[in-house]
Amino acid sequence: MKQINKIKGFFWLICFLTGANLVACDSSKKGNTDAETEEVKGDVTLYVTTANRSYDFKKSAVAFSETQNMSPSTITLDPSQRYQTMDGFGAAVTGSSCFNLLQMALDDRAKFLKETFSDSEGMGFSYIRISIGCSDFSLSEYSCCDIKGIENFGLTDEETLYVIPVLKDILAINPKLKVMGSPWTCPPWMKVNNLTDLKPFESWTSGQLNPACYQDYATYFVRWIQAFEGAGIPIYSVTPQNEPLNRGNSASLFMTWQEQRDFVKEALTPKFKEAGLKTKVYLFDHNYNYDNMNDQNDYPIRIYDAGVDQDVVAGSAYHNYGGNREELLDIHDQSPDMELVFTETSIGTWNDGRNLPVRLMADMQEIALGTVNNWCTGVIVWNLMLDTDRGPNRDGGCQTCYGAVDIDRSNYKTITRNSHYYIIGHLSVVVKPGATRIASGGYVENGIVYSAFENTDGTYACVLLNNTNENKKITLEDSKHHFSYEVPSKSVVSYQWKK
């Protein structure tokens, strides 16, 4: 027995020193992270992840203090100052992600999805994005109407055999999950080379939407939404086009703001209302810098100014592959009644994507807290799961992307959790759909970033980044309570407590 314990002790030491995922090291462990489902005692529940994984989404608790608060490092919540209402946080469930999930053993997949999406026993991811037709992380190039004529619309094997089964599993775990759909391209028979020549351009890559096909393409959206809802998958929102200023993706469609304005106003909005759809529409869905096309600056604002039906068009969506997130604040200031949602970002070989000590800090500051503190109602990262060969992927798409998690292709069991998994988890575990971002302030220091919220269930939440080289004893205070916790250096902490 002593020899067995000695071997087990060495085994766990290796796991710790290598930062390895503990599930891969010991299949008997209940959770993929340190956050277990058993109840912890204390007034404040918190979750901690350090960049070196010494705390791996560790769940613990602290008590309210009964002494007078004299701490100079106090963050004070002010619910009287209220900002945006949160829709949720999550990742893209692409065809590639679904393929990988379905290669897993049934029990392993169920366990991973529960730990990711369960609101009571996991991180509570609450918003996902899927493609309308193929994306650059699909198993093939396809639309839902490859044969000319909208009467030929129909879901394909990628939806019926991969995406829909996975979505049903997720919805069984989290019935309140929101789903966003985005097309990478229209059916190629709807494309023309440009809006002057109007010559057919039957290619998956580039081209522009033929104005003569506006009505058919709007019908395509309606039928896609209805087909998914018929399969038990409600569609909360759509964007008219993923990356409309990117001609070069493996599946793509170029769409200026003028074209999107005309398509949305003349066809998409009327078709949605005619069909009685409640699905929200978010414009643009591309980079902060408008791909350096000066005539496309303020893309969604130009469409708002032309007049849109706000019963259908809720706001605009952004990615961070170019430009600065301060653009979010500029767009909000120009049109404060319209929503903002952050819909895509990637990690990969180009930004040291598997280096958690670097990426956890940068991605928490730039993506998670950076977008929320600039009025985004939701945050969605790119692929939920890729394999260790960064796929399945296709020529012309991203060959160098990592997933929020990566699964070992040799066994479809061992999972590496990357920064995007943690940053979404730290938001979604304490900030629930319907929460309102509220004011917070007082303590200011370089490397300390935070955001506070009031949930609809009568709890407060705060997510805090300590991107310094020192532990920081930080006090949080509302109008009735205060408490302190020593936040480890290079860490993220999520707090939740009853008002």
CA dihedral 175, 177, 183, 184 (to 10 degrees): -120
Whole-number Å distance between alpha carbons of 403 and 390: 8
Whole-number Å distance between alpha carbons of 253 and 204: 8
Whole-number Å distance between alpha carbons of 138 and 249: 13
For 333, the enclosing helix (H) or strand (E) is helix 326-334
By DSSP bridging, strand 472-477 and strand 482-487 are antiparallel
Tens-of-pLDDT digits for all 499 residues of the chain?
434 343 334 434 434 434 433 333 333 233 356 655 456 789 999 999 999 999 999 999 999 999 999 999 999 999 999 999 999 999 999 999 999 999 999 999 999 999 999 999 999 999 999 999 999 999 999 999 999 999 999 999 999 999 999 999 999 999 999 999 999 999 999 999 999 999 999 999 999 999 999 999 999 999 999 999 999 999 999 999 999 999 999 999 999 999 999 999 999 999 999 999 999 999 999 999 999 999 999 999 999 999 999 999 999 999 999 999 999 999 999 999 999 999 999 999 999 999 999 999 999 999 999 999 999 999 999 999 999 999 999 888 899 999 999 999 999 999 999 999 999 999 999 999 999 999 999 999 999 999 999 999 999 999 999 999 999 999 999 999 999 999 999 999 999 999 9
At residue 340, the 3 state secondary structure works out as strand
- Answer left, alpha or beta for residue 186, where phi above 0 means left and psi between -120 and 50 means alpha: beta
* Residues 227/158, Cβ–Cβ less than 8 Å: no
Domain ranges of the chain: 31-83+437-498, 87-430
Ordered DSSP codes for 393-433: --TTS-SSEE-SEEE-TTTS--EEE-HHHHHHHHHHTTS-T
Which is nearest to 206 in space by CA: 134, 240, 137, 254? Answer: 254
**Between the CA of residue 288 and those of 90, 267, 400, what are the distances in Å?**
20, 27, 22
* Residues 21/411, Cβ–Cβ less than 8 Å: no
Report pLDDT for 7. Answer: 39
| Token pair 């600065």 in the structure block, residue | 324
Q: Measured at the alpha carbon of residue 383, what is the angle toward residues 377 and 388, in degrees to the nearest 5?
A: 150
Using omega within 30 degrees of 0 as the cis cutoff, is the peptide bond preceding 270 cis? no
Sign of CA dihedral 381, 383, 384, 390: negative
Whole-number Å distance between alpha carbons of 8 and 16: 12
Determine the longest span between alpha carbons in the chain, in angstroms.
Answer: 81
**Between the CA of residue 49 and those of 16, 33, 52, 320, 487, what are the distances in Å?**
14, 10, 8, 24, 10
Whole-number Å distance between alpha carbons of 299 and 121: 41
| Token pair 């493609």 in the structure block, residue | 131
Superfamily of domain 31-83+437-498: Golgi alpha-mannosidase II (2.60.40.1180)
Report pLDDT for 34. Answer: 67
Domain 87-430 has CATH 1.20.120.10: no
Which is nearest to 238 in space by CA: 259, 224, 257, 256? Answer: 224
Whole-number Å distance between alpha carbons of 463 and 426: 7
| Token pair 């994507």 in the structure block, residue | 353
Report pLDDT for 14. Answer: 39
Which is nearest to 418 in space by CA: 46, 96, 51? Answer: 51
Considering the entire predicted model, what is its pTM?
Answer: 0.92
Residue 452's CB is within 10 A of a number of other CB atoms, namely 26
Residue 341 DSSP one-character state = E
